[in-house]
Amino acid sequence: MPLTKWWQRAREVCGAPRTRRIGVTMEQWSPCAGDVAAGGGRLLAMWASDIGQDASAAPSGRGAATEVCAAFLTDPGVLILELPVEPGRASGPQPADYPGIEALFPCASRMQRAMFDLSAVRSSDPDRRPWLRHAPEGYDFVRVAGEGVHEVAVGPVHAGTIEPGHFRFSVVGEKVLRLEERLGYKHKGIERRFSGLPLAEGHRLAARIAGDSAVAYSWAYCQALEGMAACVVPPRAAALRALCLELERIANHLGDLGALANDAGFAFGLTQFSRLKEDLLRENSRAFGQRYLMDAVAPGGTHADLAADAATRLAARIAAVEHESAELRGILEDHAGVRDRFTGTGVLTPELALRLGVIGLVGRASGQALDARIDLAFAPYDGHPPAKVVRGEGDVAARATVRHEELAESCRLARALLASLPPGPCLSSVRTPVAGSFATGLVEGWRGPTFVALEAGPDGRIRRCHPHDPSWQNWPALEHAILGNIVADFPLINKSFNLAYGAVDL
């Protein structure tokens, strides 16, 4: 297999399991990416890093040597390509600094556009529209012409509490012919804020990239830091981290299932699932001191231990959630109105999901059987493997079913972790990594694989940190899932994806 030769030549990367990286030349970049695609690999993340700059330096302009990196999920593991480029060397009014890979991996286009806005390296992708920089003259949306075609603009400010994002529909009557998304309104400079922070404090910022994925991000960051520091996490801490991650998954699935029922006009489902979520969050607060576990994971383990009586109460609450959510599932699936709204709505076929590189929960509802807790397992998931939940219909009903079944599986897994918590400490010391160290973290959050690439700078500070959310891969798929549906079904379809806005506006 062509992919095998690249994997065998690559060197090991610490942190996330089964991860390697290899430096490639400009001539090797596209052929290597092509071999990954031919071997069934998927694009996991893309980012750029200035070569030779320290953590305190300001972001460089065009002309500074830069390394373009791409991480791929392959059968052997995660393969990272590193391509040195010198921005601005090419000729022409809009020079391309490196070949784009959007033809092989469609989701790369937006990542490449964001890379240019953040690091001034430009790909050969013909889509040169800005991603984060919102020009005052507006945005060049693709126009659909034809008799009876009109546009419906939604957002970026919405009536609810969701984050800002603009959706431009081209419709005939109520039928959607095209949807184009415009994100980037939540840019907060997070990647730049990481640079110069003490390595021992970066997990706090990581936990706040996406509030509903705090455990996933902070664990991925700590996994990378612990890898470059050769830190061994105590077994009790690993179990507590997995418990917190499953609690985060349970809470989000409860919230989404309630919201989906509400979007189908079944308010009873919203109130009942919201009640279960609130009860769980209150138990989180009693057990760990936080409703949303933003500071539970720390370098070397966990901030908070779990007392025996707190573990007993938490297990009882999880058992109650498991029982009541199963009853609610039966009610929702037996409700003719809900079933009619869910079934056949917002279909993303397995073939299209594979072509677009869709991952995580949305991917598993469209036949993409990928779950890093199983496929790239590490402690404690190597000893407590969850069952992989996969559906093939790819509609709203399938995405709801995946949530129902993952909710039940997470409840089972959380109770098993509580019943077998190892004794011992929950925190170990983490030495300061050597400047120039590189490591990655990869944790299967509730949306999908949450990835962090971390570089250590001098004086125990962060030189570069790139966090990546699975929403990058899945936002483009939403534009396809809505086609042929009516505008009124968009809130339901959008909620069934429930992707992050701020986590792709770094």
| Tokens standing for residue 204 | 């706090």
Tell me how far apart the alpha carbons of residues 437 and 460 are, in angstroms, rounded to a whole number. Answer: 11
Q: Rounded CA gap, 310 and 297, in Å?
A: 18
**CATH code for residues 2-119:** 3.30.460.80
What pLDDT, on a 0 to 100 scale, did the predictor assign at position 192? 94
Pairing of β 42-50 and β 66-73: antiparallel
pLDDT the model gives residue 58: 43
The whole model's pTM is what? 0.95
* Contacts for 450 with CB less than 8 Å, ≥ 6 apart: 213, 216, 217, 220, 442, 443, 444, 467, 468, 469, 470
Q: Are 67 and 74 in contact (CB under 8 A)?
A: no
10-residue stretch averages of pLDDT, the chain, 506 residues long: 90 97 97 96 95 51 75 97 79 76 97 93 93 76 88 86 89 94 91 96 97 97 98 98 98 98 96 98 97 97 95 98 98 96 98 98 98 97 95 98 98 98 97 97 98 97 97 98 96 96 91
CA–centroid distance for 500 within its chain: 8
Asked if 108 and 101 count as a contact pair (C-beta separation under 8 A), the reply is yes
Report the alpha-carbon distance of residue 272 to residue 259 in Å, rounded.
11
Q: Prior bond to 84 cis, omega within 30?
A: no
* Domain boundaries of the chain, sorted by first residue: 2-119, 190-504
Residue 52: per-residue pLDDT? 60
Coil, strand, or helix at residue 305? coil
SS3 of 232-291: CCCHHHHHHHHHHHHHHHHHHHHHHHHHHHHHCCCHHHHHHHHHHHHHHHHHHHHHHCCC
Give φ, ψ of 323 to 5 degrees. -70, -50
How much is the pLDDT for 368?
A: 97
What CATH number should be reported for the domain whose range is 190-504?
A: 1.10.645.10
Q: Nearest 5°: phi and psi at 81?
A: -95, 140
pLDDT of 182: 93
pLDDT of residue 91: 47
311, 421 contact by CB (below 8 A): yes
For residue 123, list its beta bridge partners.
98
Any idea which residue has 């090419």 for tokens? 90
What are the tokens at 119?
Answer: 């690091």
pLDDT at 286: 97
* Per-residue confidence (pLDDT) for residue 59, from 0 to 100: 46
SS3 sequence, 362-413?
Answer: HHHCCCCCCCHHHHCCCCCCCCCCCCCCCCCCCCHHHHHHHHHHHHHHHHHH
Contact 481, 181 (CB under 8 A): no
pLDDT for the residue 304: 87
Token pair of 128, please? 């040169």
Position 53 scores a pLDDT of 56
Q: Order across the sheet with 175-182: list the strands.
A: 149-154, 166-172, 175-182
**Intrachain domains 2-119 and 190-504 with the same fold:** no
